[in-house]
Structure 1
Amino acid sequence: MKARTAIVSFLLFSGGLVGGIFSSHFLNGNDKTETISTASQTTHFASDASTATEKTLIATPAEKDLLTQLDARLKQEIAHREELETQLAKLELRVELLDSNRSLTPEPPLDSAIGQGPQIPPAAGGLNAENLIASGVNADTANELVAHWNRYQLEQLELRDTAAREGWLNSEQFRERASALQESRKSLREEIGDDKYDRYLYESGDNNRVAVNSVIAGSAAESIGLRSGDIIIAYAGSRTFSGRELQNATRDGSRSETVTIELLRDGESLELSVPRGPLGIMLDAVRLAPD
């Protein structure tokens, strides 16, 4: 009986031991399996995230097509804006050309006297060879003047367009280049003479006379009797077609030397003597038909 009890106890102990080992092995195996499974899932998740990131960096064909369309539209808008800027520059230049010989002095009131005789509106369509020939200029000279005028207008357009595109329209560089173009007119004047140059300015629609707008009290102009409305034809023997030319003439030669001013007053020619130097007058640039 004791022996049987001992055997049963041994068997129960052995069974419990085996069961414990098995349970321990099984549980450890599950832990490893779960660990492996979890690691696998983590790796799989990381792989999916990487793939998703790659997909976001690669544009679809539809997106590429949209970007191409937007780029083309942007280029069209830029080209359109540049064209508008060019047209604006040309319009501004046209306004300046109609007033190219205007004096730098202040403009007069609308009701002030600005010279004798009616003012002629600028010629339409630019310089005309037929008008020059009709006024006494020979055909060869007329054609040469027209060619020079056309070249001058194109050079001004090109200068202003370039300055507008490159951003130096209202700069000292632009003023220097514009002055250089004006110098080309001086050389033309020397080639054809004052009378033909006068006709050239008039037929091209430019101002060709300088008028006295007002006289400053106590000035040299007042002392010699210059009046508002006088047209200054020449200063010290040099014809004056613009306010700038008159200003330059007053600075030439010796200060205070006596010079002669030729002018037109009420249709009559007059000569006045004045010391060379500032006259003390406000000027208007006007356009009158040559005699």
Structure 2
Amino acid sequence: MRYPLLIIGLSLATGIAIGLISHDYAAQSFTAPPDRVTVGTVANGDLQTANGPGADITADGLEELNRRLQNEIIARIAFENKLAELNQKILQLELKAQLSVETTSTASIDGIDDSNLPTSGQGWMNEQALIDSGMDSGLANTLKTRFEQLELDRLYLRDQSIREGWDRDRYREALQTLTSKEDEFKNQLSESEYDSYLYASGQTNRVAVTSVLESAPAAAAGIEPGDHIIRYDNQRIYNWFELREATSTGEIGEAIAVEVERDGDIIELYLARGPLGIRMNSVSIAP
């Protein structure tokens, strides 16, 4: 809670600063014109005067206006610098808050089995879980090494973005480039190997159905609470985001196959492409 409160506080401070400076500008910029000014013209040897706002301004008046303008320019530059500084602090706090959430959130939040999370003795990747799944020990060690390198790269990237004051777009673009390396890594593994890799690293590898609307396509097809959705239209599903994306592509209403795991058995069901009408969680389960 500390970082979100600091972010809100800085945002409020920024708003107050804008209000105060805007008020000061208004007070300086909209001073009522004098009713009478002296003009520096001479007619028939006499100094002439004119009344009202339409009269010419004296040299002293021009100098005063120029002084006010320069003061406003200086104040505006100082304000913009301060605003940029506050925005940078907010970005840094957001990145730190993101790190805090990523490193302290527990598996129970989205249904991951806490017992699968690596302990201090196991490290970041549970290599033994890979071997227990039937994977060759050499490949298991390679996966562990690559996973831990990716995690280290993410930590360095986050640290660099804070130190150098990156904006959100630059950080997200760099993070996306790093994530694409993981996608390439995924394509080098078989489905079963990648499934084991996700489980051993504490990531989700199944979508668990928690409830089904009675009149929904999922209910008509026979999907039940407790089922694990394994495939949708022959596409392997590892998390709820992939399932939502799969249901939103293709021709709506098209008949497609859905593969679910129920009590250890694989069942193939058929329904119309589109919203399923279910509630679900991403979970991590041993393959």
* Whole-angstrom distance in 1 between the partners of 2:173 and 2:216: 32
Which position in structure 2 is the counterpart of 1:139?
137
Amino acid at match of 1:260: A
State whether residues 208 and 283 of structure 2, in contact with CA within 8 Å, keep that contact through their aligned partners in structure 1: yes
Q: Say yes or no: does 1:222 pair with 2:219.
A: yes
SS in 2 for 1:221: helix
Compared CA separation, residues 247 and 175, structure 1 to 2 (3 A): farther
SS in structure 1 of the partner of residue 211 of structure 2: strand
SS in 1 for 2:259: strand
What is the root-mean-square deviation of aligned Cα atoms in Å? 3.4
Give the TM-score normalised by the residue count of structure 2. Answer: 0.56
Q: Which residue of 2 aligns with 1:94?
A: 103
1:156 to 154, 158, 166: 154
Of residues 174, 181, 193, the one that matches 1:196 is: 193
Aligned partner of 1:239 in structure 2 is 236
Q: In structure 1, what is the equivalent of residue 53 of structure 2?
A: none
Q: Summarize the Cα distance change of 1:267–1:198 in structure 2 as closer, same or farther, 3 Å threshold.
A: same
Bigger strand share: 2
More helix by share: 1
Match of 2:267 among 270, 274, 277: 270
| Structure 1 unaligned regions, length at least 5 | 1-84, 109-113
Shift of 1:167: 5.9
CA deviation vs aligned residue, 1:207-266 (integer Å, no higher than 9, x gap): 211111222453322322322221101111121111111122223333322111111123
Identity value in percent = 34
Task: Tell me which of 115, 118, 121 is aligned to 1:123.
Answer: 118
Equivalent pair of 1:122/1:205 in contact (CA under 8 Å): yes
Runs of 4+ in 1 over 6 A off after TM superposition: 85-89
Aligned length: 193
Aligned pair 1:207/2:207, yes or no? no
User: Which whole-Å CA distance do the structure 1 matches of 2:224 and 2:128 have between them?
Assistant: 37
Q: Match of 1:95, as an amino acid?
A: T
Q: Determine which structure has greater relative contact order: mean sequence separation of CA pairs < 8 Å that are 6+ residues apart, divided by chain length.
A: 1
Quick one: structure 1 residues 256 and 128, their matched pair in 2 at CA, closer, same or farther if it must change by over 3 Å? same
Q: How far 1:201 moved relative to its partner?
A: 0.8
TM-score of the pair, normalised by structure 1: 0.56
User: Counterpart amino acid of 2:153?
Assistant: E
Of stretches 210-219 and 280-289 in structure 1, the one that deviates more from structure 2 is: 210-219
Work out whether residues 208 and 287 of structure 1, in 8 Å CA contact, stay in contact via their aligned partners in 2.
yes
Pairing partner for 2:281 from 272, 284, 290: 284
Partner of 1:257: 254
| Structure whose CA Rg is larger | 1
Residues 260, 273 of structure 1: 8 Å contact kept: yes
> What secondary structure is seen at the aligned counterpart in 1 of 2:269?
strand
